[in-house]
Amino acid sequence: MEELGYMTDPAVVTVALAILTLGAWRIGIGMGRQLSAEKRAMPQFDGTGVALLALLLAFAFGTSMSKYEQRRVAVLQDSNAIGDFYTCATLLREPTRSKLQALIRAYAEERLRLARQPPTHLELERALSDFQRMHQQMTTLVAQALADGTPIAVSLTNTLNALTSSHSDRLAALRDHLPGSILALLFVSTIITTTLIGRSHGFSGTFDPTGIVCFVLIVSFVFYVTLDLNLAQRGFIKVSQEPVERLISSMTQ
Protein backbone atom coordinates (compact mmCIF):
# COMPACT_ATOMS: atom_id res chain seq x y z
CA MET A 1 0.00 0.00 0.00
CA GLU A 2 2.76 2.46 0.97
CA GLU A 3 4.63 1.76 -2.28
CA LEU A 4 1.58 1.97 -4.55
CA GLY A 5 2.00 5.65 -5.30
CA TYR A 6 5.59 5.11 -6.45
CA MET A 7 4.96 2.20 -8.81
CA THR A 8 3.25 4.37 -11.44
CA ASP A 9 4.63 7.11 -13.66
CA PRO A 10 4.13 10.46 -11.86
CA ALA A 11 2.84 12.03 -15.09
CA VAL A 12 0.11 9.39 -15.36
CA VAL A 13 -0.97 9.91 -11.74
CA THR A 14 -0.97 13.69 -12.20
CA VAL A 15 -3.04 13.59 -15.39
CA ALA A 16 -5.52 11.26 -13.69
CA LEU A 17 -5.74 13.70 -10.78
CA ALA A 18 -6.37 16.65 -13.13
CA ILE A 19 -9.12 14.80 -15.00
CA LEU A 20 -10.82 13.58 -11.82
CA THR A 21 -10.55 17.05 -10.31
CA LEU A 22 -12.26 18.70 -13.27
CA GLY A 23 -14.93 16.01 -13.18
CA ALA A 24 -15.43 16.64 -9.45
CA TRP A 25 -15.86 20.34 -10.20
CA ARG A 26 -18.63 19.58 -12.67
CA ILE A 27 -20.32 17.29 -10.15
CA GLY A 28 -20.06 20.05 -7.56
CA ILE A 29 -21.80 22.46 -9.91
CA GLY A 30 -24.71 20.05 -10.18
CA MET A 31 -24.88 19.76 -6.40
CA GLY A 32 -24.87 23.56 -6.04
CA ARG A 33 -27.64 23.98 -8.58
CA GLN A 34 -29.75 21.46 -6.71
CA LEU A 35 -29.26 23.34 -3.45
CA SER A 36 -30.20 26.58 -5.16
CA ALA A 37 -33.35 25.05 -6.69
CA GLU A 38 -34.40 23.76 -3.27
CA LYS A 39 -33.92 27.26 -1.80
CA ARG A 40 -31.53 25.90 0.79
CA ALA A 41 -28.74 27.84 2.44
CA MET A 42 -25.28 27.38 0.96
CA PRO A 43 -22.76 25.92 3.46
CA GLN A 44 -19.50 27.88 3.33
CA PHE A 45 -16.87 25.14 3.28
CA ASP A 46 -15.03 25.86 0.02
CA GLY A 47 -12.68 28.46 1.54
CA THR A 48 -11.83 26.17 4.44
CA GLY A 49 -11.23 23.28 2.03
CA VAL A 50 -8.82 25.32 -0.08
CA ALA A 51 -6.91 26.44 3.03
CA LEU A 52 -6.58 22.87 4.30
CA LEU A 53 -5.50 21.64 0.88
CA ALA A 54 -2.85 24.37 0.69
CA LEU A 55 -1.58 23.32 4.12
CA LEU A 56 -1.36 19.67 3.08
CA LEU A 57 0.43 20.53 -0.17
CA ALA A 58 2.93 22.74 1.67
CA PHE A 59 3.62 20.01 4.23
CA ALA A 60 4.06 17.27 1.60
CA PHE A 61 6.22 19.45 -0.65
CA GLY A 62 8.43 20.58 2.24
CA THR A 63 8.89 17.01 3.45
CA SER A 64 9.76 15.83 -0.06
CA MET A 65 12.34 18.61 -0.43
CA SER A 66 13.97 17.63 2.87
CA LYS A 67 14.23 14.02 1.72
CA TYR A 68 15.73 15.17 -1.59
CA GLU A 69 18.27 17.24 0.34
CA GLN A 70 19.02 14.20 2.51
CA ARG A 71 19.88 12.18 -0.61
CA ARG A 72 22.05 15.01 -1.94
CA VAL A 73 24.02 15.20 1.30
CA ALA A 74 24.32 11.41 1.35
CA VAL A 75 25.94 11.45 -2.10
CA LEU A 76 28.43 14.12 -0.99
CA GLN A 77 29.30 12.28 2.21
CA ASP A 78 29.66 9.02 0.32
CA SER A 79 32.03 10.65 -2.16
CA ASN A 80 34.11 12.13 0.66
CA ALA A 81 34.31 8.79 2.45
CA ILE A 82 35.46 6.99 -0.70
CA GLY A 83 37.98 9.74 -1.42
CA ASP A 84 39.44 9.63 2.10
CA PHE A 85 39.79 5.85 1.95
CA TYR A 86 41.45 6.10 -1.47
CA THR A 87 43.93 8.67 -0.10
CA CYS A 88 44.88 6.33 2.72
CA ALA A 89 45.28 3.49 0.23
CA THR A 90 47.88 5.50 -1.70
CA LEU A 91 50.12 5.47 1.39
CA LEU A 92 50.27 1.68 1.65
CA ARG A 93 53.03 -0.56 0.42
CA GLU A 94 52.79 -2.61 -2.76
CA PRO A 95 51.11 -4.86 -3.75
CA THR A 96 48.33 -3.96 -1.29
CA ARG A 97 48.27 -0.37 -2.50
CA SER A 98 47.51 -1.19 -6.15
CA LYS A 99 44.95 -3.85 -5.28
CA LEU A 100 43.07 -1.60 -2.87
CA GLN A 101 43.17 1.41 -5.19
CA ALA A 102 41.77 -0.63 -8.07
CA LEU A 103 39.03 -2.01 -5.84
CA ILE A 104 38.05 1.44 -4.55
CA ARG A 105 37.97 2.83 -8.09
CA ALA A 106 35.74 -0.03 -9.23
CA TYR A 107 33.53 0.56 -6.21
CA ALA A 108 33.08 4.26 -7.03
CA GLU A 109 32.42 3.53 -10.72
CA GLU A 110 29.76 0.97 -9.82
CA ARG A 111 28.01 3.45 -7.55
CA LEU A 112 28.03 6.05 -10.32
CA ARG A 113 26.71 3.58 -12.88
CA LEU A 114 23.92 2.56 -10.54
CA ALA A 115 22.90 6.20 -10.02
CA ARG A 116 22.93 7.01 -13.74
CA GLN A 117 20.92 3.96 -14.83
CA PRO A 118 17.94 3.41 -12.51
CA PRO A 119 17.95 -0.32 -11.72
CA THR A 120 15.06 -2.71 -11.34
CA HIS A 121 14.44 -4.23 -7.91
CA LEU A 122 16.37 -7.36 -8.91
CA GLU A 123 19.30 -5.33 -10.28
CA LEU A 124 19.41 -3.23 -7.12
CA GLU A 125 19.56 -6.32 -4.91
CA ARG A 126 22.33 -7.72 -7.09
CA ALA A 127 24.25 -4.45 -6.84
CA LEU A 128 23.89 -4.42 -3.06
CA SER A 129 25.33 -7.92 -2.95
CA ASP A 130 28.25 -6.73 -5.08
CA PHE A 131 28.87 -3.80 -2.73
CA GLN A 132 28.84 -6.17 0.24
CA ARG A 133 31.37 -8.39 -1.52
CA MET A 134 33.58 -5.36 -2.24
CA HIS A 135 33.39 -4.31 1.41
CA GLN A 136 34.61 -7.75 2.42
CA GLN A 137 37.48 -7.56 -0.07
CA MET A 138 38.41 -4.10 1.24
CA THR A 139 38.39 -5.42 4.80
CA THR A 140 40.65 -8.30 3.78
CA LEU A 141 43.15 -5.94 2.13
CA VAL A 142 43.10 -3.59 5.12
CA ALA A 143 43.72 -6.53 7.44
CA GLN A 144 46.66 -7.52 5.28
CA ALA A 145 48.04 -3.97 5.47
CA LEU A 146 47.67 -3.99 9.26
CA ALA A 147 49.47 -7.32 9.45
CA ASP A 148 52.31 -5.81 7.41
CA GLY A 149 52.67 -3.10 10.06
CA THR A 150 51.44 -0.04 8.18
CA PRO A 151 52.01 3.21 10.15
CA ILE A 152 48.57 4.55 9.19
CA ALA A 153 46.60 1.75 10.81
CA VAL A 154 44.21 4.05 12.67
CA SER A 155 43.45 6.29 9.69
CA LEU A 156 43.06 3.32 7.37
CA THR A 157 40.62 1.58 9.70
CA ASN A 158 38.62 4.75 10.36
CA THR A 159 38.23 5.59 6.68
CA LEU A 160 37.09 2.03 5.93
CA ASN A 161 34.49 2.30 8.68
CA ALA A 162 33.37 5.67 7.31
CA LEU A 163 32.99 4.18 3.83
CA THR A 164 30.79 1.31 5.00
CA SER A 165 28.74 3.68 7.19
CA SER A 166 28.18 6.11 4.31
CA HIS A 167 26.96 3.19 2.22
CA SER A 168 24.31 2.43 4.84
CA ASP A 169 23.33 6.10 5.13
CA ARG A 170 22.98 6.49 1.38
CA LEU A 171 20.90 3.34 1.09
CA ALA A 172 18.61 4.55 3.88
CA ALA A 173 18.22 7.95 2.19
CA LEU A 174 17.46 6.22 -1.11
CA ARG A 175 14.62 4.22 0.40
CA ASP A 176 13.21 7.03 2.53
CA HIS A 177 10.26 8.78 0.92
CA LEU A 178 6.89 10.28 1.72
CA PRO A 179 4.41 7.58 2.82
CA GLY A 180 1.94 6.54 0.14
CA SER A 181 -0.93 7.28 2.53
CA ILE A 182 0.05 10.98 2.48
CA LEU A 183 -0.09 10.99 -1.32
CA ALA A 184 -3.50 9.32 -1.19
CA LEU A 185 -4.67 11.98 1.27
CA LEU A 186 -3.51 14.73 -1.10
CA PHE A 187 -5.25 13.03 -4.02
CA VAL A 188 -8.58 12.70 -2.21
CA SER A 189 -8.36 16.15 -0.60
CA THR A 190 -7.84 17.79 -3.98
CA ILE A 191 -10.92 16.11 -5.43
CA ILE A 192 -13.10 16.95 -2.41
CA THR A 193 -11.94 20.58 -2.34
CA THR A 194 -12.67 21.06 -6.02
CA THR A 195 -16.11 19.50 -5.54
CA LEU A 196 -16.84 22.10 -2.85
CA ILE A 197 -15.64 24.87 -5.16
CA GLY A 198 -17.92 23.58 -7.94
CA ARG A 199 -20.83 23.42 -5.52
CA SER A 200 -20.27 27.06 -4.60
CA HIS A 201 -20.17 28.01 -8.29
CA GLY A 202 -23.33 26.06 -9.04
CA PHE A 203 -25.20 27.61 -6.13
CA SER A 204 -24.25 31.18 -7.04
CA GLY A 205 -24.66 30.59 -10.77
CA THR A 206 -21.30 32.25 -11.53
CA PHE A 207 -18.78 30.02 -13.30
CA ASP A 208 -15.10 30.74 -13.71
CA PRO A 209 -13.68 28.01 -16.01
CA THR A 210 -10.38 29.83 -16.47
CA GLY A 211 -9.89 30.17 -12.73
CA ILE A 212 -10.68 26.54 -11.98
CA VAL A 213 -8.42 25.33 -14.79
CA CYS A 214 -5.56 27.42 -13.40
CA PHE A 215 -6.28 26.09 -9.91
CA VAL A 216 -6.23 22.49 -11.15
CA LEU A 217 -3.01 23.06 -13.10
CA ILE A 218 -1.23 24.60 -10.09
CA VAL A 219 -2.33 21.86 -7.69
CA SER A 220 -1.51 19.12 -10.21
CA PHE A 221 1.94 20.55 -10.88
CA VAL A 222 2.73 20.77 -7.15
CA PHE A 223 1.49 17.19 -6.73
CA TYR A 224 3.69 16.05 -9.63
CA VAL A 225 6.82 17.70 -8.25
CA THR A 226 6.09 16.32 -4.77
CA LEU A 227 5.74 12.81 -6.16
CA ASP A 228 8.76 13.15 -8.45
CA LEU A 229 11.02 14.35 -5.64
CA ASN A 230 10.35 11.07 -3.85
CA LEU A 231 11.42 8.91 -6.80
CA ALA A 232 15.15 8.82 -6.13
CA GLN A 233 15.95 6.42 -8.97
CA ARG A 234 13.18 6.97 -11.54
CA GLY A 235 12.25 10.61 -10.99
CA PHE A 236 12.84 13.50 -13.39
CA ILE A 237 14.45 15.50 -10.59
CA LYS A 238 17.59 13.59 -9.65
CA VAL A 239 20.47 14.24 -7.29
CA SER A 240 23.62 15.40 -9.05
CA GLN A 241 26.42 12.84 -9.10
CA GLU A 242 29.10 15.45 -9.77
CA PRO A 243 31.02 14.76 -6.51
CA VAL A 244 31.42 11.09 -7.46
CA GLU A 245 32.29 11.98 -11.06
CA ARG A 246 35.03 14.37 -9.95
CA LEU A 247 36.33 11.78 -7.50
CA ILE A 248 36.63 9.12 -10.20
CA SER A 249 38.31 11.63 -12.52
CA SER A 250 40.95 12.35 -9.87
CA MET A 251 41.53 8.63 -9.39
CA THR A 252 42.31 8.02 -13.05
CA GLN A 253 44.72 10.89 -13.43
List, for residues 147-161, the tens digit of each pLDDT value.
988 899 999 999 999
Contact by Cβ (8 Å): 152, 88: yes
How far CA 85 is from CA of 128, 156, 175, 186, 233, in Å, comes to 20, 7, 25, 44, 26
Q: Which of 58-72, 107-121, 186-200 has the lowest mean pLDDT?
A: 107-121
The model's confidence at residue 3, banded by pLDDT at 50, 70 and 90, is low
The model's confidence at residue 106, banded by pLDDT at 50, 70 and 90, is very high
Contact by Cβ (8 Å): 212, 32: no
Full-model pTM: 0.82
Contact by Cβ (8 Å): 21, 220: yes
Q: What is the mean pLDDT of the chain?
A: 88
Say what the alpha-carbon torsion angle 180, 186, 189, 195 is, to the nearest 10 degrees: -120
Find the mean pLDDT for residues 70-81: 93
Q: Which of 5-9, 12-16, 109-113 has the lowest mean pLDDT?
A: 5-9
| Residue whose C-alpha is closest to residue 28's, from 40, 16, 20, 39 | 20
Instruction: Please tell me the distance from the alpha carbon of residue 55 to that of residue 179, in angstroms, as a whole number.
Output: 17
Amino acid at 58: A
Domain boundaries, the chain: 4-35+42-252
**In the predicted model, is pLDDT for residue 102 greater than 80?**
yes
Contact by Cβ (8 Å): 67, 61: no
Instruction: Please tell me the distance from the alpha carbon of residue 199 to that of residue 202, in angstroms, as a whole number.
Output: 5
How confident is the model at residue 92, as a pLDDT? 93
Task: Name the burial class of residue 81, with classes exposed (0-12), middle (13-18) and buried (19+) by CB atoms within 10 angstroms of its CB.
Answer: buried
Find the mean pLDDT for residues 103-122: 88
The model's confidence at residue 47, banded by pLDDT at 50, 70 and 90, is confident
